[in-house]
């Protein structure tokens, strides 16, 4: 088997004295899709933040592509090909929707390609097209989530960490975003899907990790939803 793209080993993390995540092991194979599941407050978002460098682990390591990345600044982790979306405040509030999309794309791909990719983003999220001249800070929460997702979906990273995709998005948009996730996965992007609502994530992930009170309660092949509910309920 090939080396994993992402490997967390014995990761502990928290906020001040509070331990949110305890001894977590998790791997995502290159091009694979793993769902990180668990009830409210189980530590899923904290794990996502540890991966993208927003929270520093207090113990354990995170390796990406065979190199330890825990301890590196978030922008360096992003440069290596890890994107985390939608992470709160990840849009530039004082720039327009168009600028939010086009500026980073231009830097990475030049003006012509950036314009094509921006159009793709509007095709995927028509609401953003209608609001292209509006300041991102004045968008609704759901629209900001669309903007933050659009940026990574049209310019896929090597590993995409998607945190609570379903939250605040209309069901029809959730379905479309999941279709696009399946597409970018076929193009080689690995996925770590953090979800409290499991249905969609289970449709795409080939393995799952269930967190319970910060610890791994299960890791392996997807479970039927009734067994998952049992695991969630056992969380108390
Ligand atoms: P949810 O689905 O509710 O977001 P989660 O599984 O993603 O839950 P986390 O957000 O990682 O869980 O939170 C794990 C624990 O850490 C919770 O008890 C939460 O209250 C706590 N926590 C999260 N962020 C902070 C923070 N910035 N400061 C202090 N405690 C925090």
Task: Give the list of residues 6+ apart from residue 143 with CB closer than 8 angstroms, or none.
Answer: 127, 128, 131
How many Cβ atoms sit within 10 Å of the Cβ of residue 10?
Answer: 12
What is the whole-number distance in angstroms between the Cα of residue 9 and the centre of ligand 1? Answer: 20
Residue nearest to atom 31 of ligand 1 (CA): 15
Rounded to whole angstroms, the Cα distance separating 146 from 235 reads 31
**67: buried, middle or exposed (CB in 10 Å: 19+, 13-18, 0-12)?**
exposed
What is the whole-number distance in angstroms between the Cα of residue 73 and the centre of ligand 1? Answer: 21
What is the whole-number distance in angstroms between the Cα of residue 94 and the centre of ligand 1? Answer: 28
Residue tagged 């794990």 (tokens)? 47
What is the second-level CATH architecture of the domain 4-90+157-235? 3-Layer(aba) Sandwich (3.40)
Rounded to whole angstroms, the Cα distance separating 33 from 162 reads 11
Atom of ligand 1 nearest to the CA of 43: 11
Pocket test for ligand 1, best of 8, 14, 18, 193 (most atoms within 8 A of CB): 18
Rounded to whole angstroms, the Cα distance separating 13 from 24 reads 9
Instruction: Place 236 in a pLDDT band, splitting at 50, 70 and 90.
Output: very low
φ, ψ for residue 10, nearest 5 deg: 55, 40
Strand partners, 209: 36, 219
What is the whole-number distance in angstroms between the Cα of residue 40 and the centre of ligand 1? Answer: 8
Instruction: Place 88 in a pLDDT band, splitting at 50, 70 and 90.
Output: low
Mean pLDDT of 171-199: 89
Residue nearest to atom 3 of ligand 1 (CA): 40
∠ Cα 173 109 54 (to 5°)? 60
Specify the pTM.
0.92
Sequence ranges of the domains in the chain: 4-90+157-235
Question: What per-residue confidence (pLDDT) applies to 127?
Answer: 93
| pLDDT surpasses 80 at 235 | no
φ, ψ for residue 137, nearest 5 deg: -65, -20
Nearest CA among 149, 204, 234, 159 for reference residue 35: 204
pLDDT tens-digit readout, 139-155: 988 899 899 999 999 99
φ, ψ for residue 213, nearest 5 deg: 45, 45
Rounded to whole angstroms, the Cα distance separating 41 from 3 reads 31
| pLDDT surpasses 90 at 227 | no
Nearest CA among 65, 66, 48 for reference residue 11: 48
Question: What per-residue confidence (pLDDT) applies to 165?
Answer: 85
What is the whole-number distance in angstroms between the Cα of residue 19 and the centre of ligand 1? Answer: 10
Rounded mean pLDDT of the chain?
A: 91
What is the whole-number distance in angstroms between the Cα of residue 15 and the centre of ligand 1? Answer: 9
Atom of ligand 1 nearest to the CA of 194: 7
pLDDT tens-digit readout, 27-57: 999 999 999 999 889 999 999 999 999 999 9
Residues with CB under 6 A from ligand 1: 15, 18, 20, 38, 40-46, 196
Atom of ligand 1 nearest to the CA of 14: 16
Give me the DSSP letters along 31-84. T-EEEEE-STTSSHHHHHHHHHTSS--SEEEEEETTEE-TTS-HHHHHHTTEEE
Give me the DSSP letters along 151-211. HHHHS--SEEEEE-TTTT--HHHHHHHHHHHHHHHHTT-EEEEEESS-HHHHHH-SEEEEE
Residue nearest to atom 18 of ligand 1 (CA): 41
Token duo for residue 99? 């600028």
Instruction: Place 129 in a pLDDT band, splitting at 50, 70 and 90.
Output: very high
What is the whole-number distance in angstroms between the Cα of residue 107 and the centre of ligand 1? Answer: 34
Mean pLDDT of 161-170: 86
Rounded to whole angstroms, the Cα distance separating 161 from 168 reads 17
């Amino acid at each position: 088997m090939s080396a994993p793209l992402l490997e967390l080993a014995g990761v502990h993390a928290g906020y001040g004295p509070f331990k949110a995540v305890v001894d977590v092991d998790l791997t995502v194979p290159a091009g694979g899709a793993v769902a990180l599941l668990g009830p409210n407050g189980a530590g899923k978002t904290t794990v996502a933040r540890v991966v993208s460098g927003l929270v520093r682990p207090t113990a354990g390591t995170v390796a990406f592509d065979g190199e330890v990345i825990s301890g590196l600044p978030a922008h360096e982790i992003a440069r290596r090909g890890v994107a985390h979306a939608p992470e709160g405040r990840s849009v530039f509030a004082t720039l327009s929707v168009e600028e939010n999309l086009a500026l980073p794309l231009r830097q990475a791909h030049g003006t012509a390609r950036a314009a094509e990719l921006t159009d793709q983003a509007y095709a995927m999220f028509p609401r953003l097209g209608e609001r292209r001249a509006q300041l991102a800070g004045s968008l609704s929460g759901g629209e900001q989530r669309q903007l933050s997702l659009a940026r990574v979906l049209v310019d896929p990273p090597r590993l995409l960490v998607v945190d609570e995709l379903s939250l605040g998005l209309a069901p029809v948009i959730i379905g479309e975003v999941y279709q696009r996730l399946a597409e970018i996965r076929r193009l080689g992007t690995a996925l770590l899907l953090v979800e409290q609502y499991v249905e969609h994530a289970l449709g795409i992930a080939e393995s799952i990790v269930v967190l319970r009170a910060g610890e791994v309660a299960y890791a392996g092949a997807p479970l039927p939803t009734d067994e998952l509910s049992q695991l969630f309920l056992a969380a108390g």
